[in-house]
Amino acid sequence: MECWKQSVPEGIDTKIDYLRGLALWDLNSMPPAIWHFPVYNLPEDPISRFNKLFKVRDRWTHEDLEPYIRDLDTPTQSLNAMLLRYTRTSTNQKGEKVYNAKHSVK
């Protein structure tokens, strides 16, 4: 994060939220890591998209997952319906709701 802050012009704010849908991060690793993972490189098919997402991470918070599935929302299938269809929920150690793959990832 410090490297990112140093690489932008003075006065430009750097917030991790700015990267949602463009990159993933692991701030608990040493050193903290951020890598390019844009939503536009993901499959358009919901099954393939969820498989790809769960290959990258086995658990997602709603906040982290939502930017990667937002564009799949349609009048006939809402995001909540897709989450029910393709994921199961559990609670992590911090008490946060997380989404796991409902079926084995291919």
Whether 48 has a pLDDT exceeding 70, the answer reads yes
Distance CA 2, CA 33 (A): 11
Q: What is the pLDDT of residues 19-29, one digit of tens each?
A: 899 999 887 78
Which residues, other chains included, contact 15 with Cβ-Cβ below 8 Å and sequence gap of 6+? none
The residue-averaged pLDDT of 71-76 equals: 89
Structure tokens at 71: 């564009």
Average of pLDDT values for 21-47? 89
Place of tokens 């997602």: 60
